[in-house]
Structure 1
Amino acid sequence: MALMEVHYSSFAMGSNISLNVFVPTPGSSEAITDINASPKYDYRRGLPVLYLLHGAFGDAFSWIRYSNIDRYAQDRGIVVVMASAENSFYQNLKGGRRYYDFFAEELPTFIQNVFPVSRDPARTYIAGFSMGGYGAWYLANRRPDLFSKAASMSGALNIASVISNPLEGVFPFESAFADVRDQDGSYRIEGSRYDLKTLIAENHQRGCLPRLYQAVGKKDILYEDNLAMRDWVRSQGIALTYEEGSGAHDWDFWDEYIRHILDWLLED
């Protein structure tokens, strides 16, 4: 596995940015020749690629520090891209950095032109936990032409609830949703472009809905919100791969379930 820390000047960010990219390579116990080459190293065709998102207060190094994503990706022959998003909920911030533009437009274009990844949406995926779980479903449903599958772990999928009941009274994400905030300080999320239910229903009606995966632990602070989203998705007649475990909102759960997600992504 080759891990590359990449630095380049981003138009969307208006500054130099850093990101981490894992590319699977033949290991010491493997032999690769012109005659005997494993399909999982088919660089000419392009490898499947996963854009892996972090949660609030995380960054491009979260998955590297706290999980075994490098080993899991190497075993399965998939490229993994990790970039920082601050506490943006993967939105364009008012008067600040354009994270939606970066993750939905600029980053995939850069990756496709620099690394040996597939340009086929059927082999282009997105996943994340907590804030990144919302981001994965949000970005995939805004760009169903780019991502064919989206996976959420412990996702903050009900933004209205997260805003109304912030953890420990702190909600440091106001600028992400500033354009739907009323003068009294409340947010009009339902029916807006930030509302996952609205995006999912529209894509389902148009027949372009990405395949969705959802996982949450029974001890997770967002468990009830996740159950409500699961039930709503199924009530719409939408196929959903749903899993739950006994875990909490932590890396023990996410490190376990990212393996489930990788296997689900690479299913035929």
Structure 2
Amino acid sequence: MASMNCHYYSFSLKRTVDVNVIIPTPEGNEQITSEETKKSYPYDTGLPVLYLLHGAYGDYSSWMRFSNIERYAQKHCVAVVMASADNSFYQDMYLGNNYFTFFTEELPAFVKSIFPISKRREDTFVAGLSMGGYGAWYLGLSKPEQYAKAASLSGALDIEMTYERTKDGEGGSPFRWDLIFKNPTDVLGSDADLITLYDRCEKAGNLPELYFACGTEDFVYDMNTAMKAQLDERGSKAVYVEGPGNHDWDFWEAYIQKVLQWMLPL
């Protein structure tokens, strides 16, 4: 297992950024066996890659610090890329940084130029938790030609409802909606609305595969069940999973393993 921190200048964000990259290796497991060393690691054609997104209050290091993502990346032979988006909801902000451009254009170009990562859509995935759960679907549905699968864990999937709940700073909300959107009250039906993006992809016939999971005790549980209802009305094949759990790392640690199994079955 190779785990690297890259510190480089981002032209789209106009500042230096940190990126964590995990590259699985044939010698990565603590217990090396002859069977393990015979596994296929297609460095010549490129490894499948997962862009793994953090939630509010988090950063590029969150998944590395609070989960065993290195072990799971090794198990599924997938490269994992993690970068920071502040509390931007992965948007090109109205008054702020262009995080959508960074995550969908600059970051993939950077990592593919340095690491043995596949350039094929069918090998490219995105997933995230909470704000990053929204972000994963937002990137996947905005760039369906780029991502084969997108997965949300405890995702804030209803951007309008999230705005209404946090616009007054209740609960110590970290979101500066006036900086993220020019008109935050107009997000419903806009390019930031996941159902709008879903319908657009469905009409064009280029939907990525979708997965979402949420704990039944989570404060975004109602958003996820409402999303399921809307997708069911459309006859969607999106995979929805729920179970006991809250908005915490116990849930995300358990369900990122389910996400990887869905993305890259063993």
Tell me the CA shift for residue 196 of structure 1.
Answer: 0.4
For these two proteins, the number of residue pairs brought into alignment is 260
Q: How does 1:234-249 map to 2 (within 5 A)?
A: 234-249=232-247
Please say if 1:173 is aligned against 2:176.
Answer: yes
Specify the SS of the correspondent of 1:20: strand
In the alignment, the residues of structure 1 paired with residue 265 and residue 233 of structure 2 have an alpha-carbon distance, to the nearest angstrom, of 25
Q: Which residue identity does 1:243 align to in structure 2?
A: V
Q: Which residue of 2 aligns with 1:147?
A: 147
Is the contact between residue 128 and residue 153 of structure 2 (CA under 8 Å) also seen in structure 1? yes
Q: Which residue of 1 aligns with 2:212?
A: 214
Is the contact between residue 214 and residue 241 of structure 1 (CA under 8 Å) also seen in structure 2? yes
Is the contact between residue 91 and residue 176 of structure 1 (CA under 8 Å) also seen in structure 2? no
Please say if 1:254 is aligned against 2:252.
Answer: yes
Tell me the CA shift for residue 177 of structure 1.
Answer: 3.7
Q: Which residue identity does 2:3 align to in structure 1?
A: L
For normalisation by structure 1, the TM-score amounts to 0.93
Tell me the CA shift for residue 168 of structure 1.
Answer: 1.6
Stretch deviating more after TM superposition (105-114 or 212-221): 105-114
Q: Which residue of 2 aligns with 1:83?
A: 83
Q: Which residue of 2 aligns with 1:184?
A: none
Q: How does 1:67-78 map to 2 (within 5 A)?
A: 67-78=67-78
The gaps in structure 2 that reach 5 residues or longer are none
In the alignment, the residues of structure 2 paired with residue 14 and residue 264 of structure 1 have an alpha-carbon distance, to the nearest angstrom, of 36
Tell me the CA shift for residue 95 of structure 1.
Answer: 3.1
Is the contact between residue 88 and residue 180 of structure 2 (CA under 8 Å) also seen in structure 1? no
Distance 1:176 1:73, change over 3 A: farther
CA RMSD of superposed structures (Å): 1.7
Q: How does 1:105-254 map to 2 (within 5 A)?
A: 105-166=105-166, 168=171, 170=173, 172-175=175-178, 177-181=180-184, 187-254=185-252
Distance 1:143 1:176, change over 3 A: farther
Tell me the CA shift for residue 32 of structure 1.
Answer: 9.2
Q: Which residue of 1 aligns with 2:15?
A: 15
Is the contact between residue 93 and residue 175 of structure 1 (CA under 8 Å) also seen in structure 2? no
In the alignment, the residues of structure 1 paired with residue 195 and residue 180 of structure 2 have an alpha-carbon distance, to the nearest angstrom, of 16
The gaps in structure 1 that reach 5 residues or longer are 182-186
Tell me the CA shift for residue 176 of structure 1.
Answer: 5.2
Tell me the CA shift for residue 173 of structure 1.
Answer: 3.1
Distance 1:19 1:122, change over 3 A: same
In the alignment, the residues of structure 1 paired with residue 172 and residue 18 of structure 2 have an alpha-carbon distance, to the nearest angstrom, of 31
Is the contact between residue 95 and residue 179 of structure 2 (CA under 8 Å) also seen in structure 1? no
In the alignment, the residues of structure 1 paired with residue 234 and residue 157 of structure 2 have an alpha-carbon distance, to the nearest angstrom, of 16
Q: Which residue identity does 1:147 align to in structure 2?
A: Y
Q: How does 1:10-49 map to 2 (within 5 A)?
A: 10-27=10-27, 29-30=32-33, 37-39=38-40, 41-49=41-49
In the alignment, the residues of structure 2 paired with residue 161 and residue 237 of structure 1 have an alpha-carbon distance, to the nearest angstrom, of 23
Deviations, residues 144-181 of structure 1 (Å, cap 9, x unaligned): 11101000000000011111012526352314542223
Specify the SS of the correspondent of 2:181: helix
Specify the SS of the correspondent of 1:179: coil
Stretch deviating more after TM superposition (159-168 or 46-55): 159-168
Identity of aligned residues (%): 45
Distance 1:169 1:61, change over 3 A: closer
Is the contact between residue 163 and residue 171 of structure 1 (CA under 8 Å) also seen in structure 2? no
Specify the SS of the correspondent of 1:65: helix
Is the contact between residue 204 and residue 238 of structure 1 (CA under 8 Å) also seen in structure 2? no
Distance 1:95 1:179, change over 3 A: closer
Is the contact between residue 26 and residue 32 of structure 1 (CA under 8 Å) also seen in structure 2? no
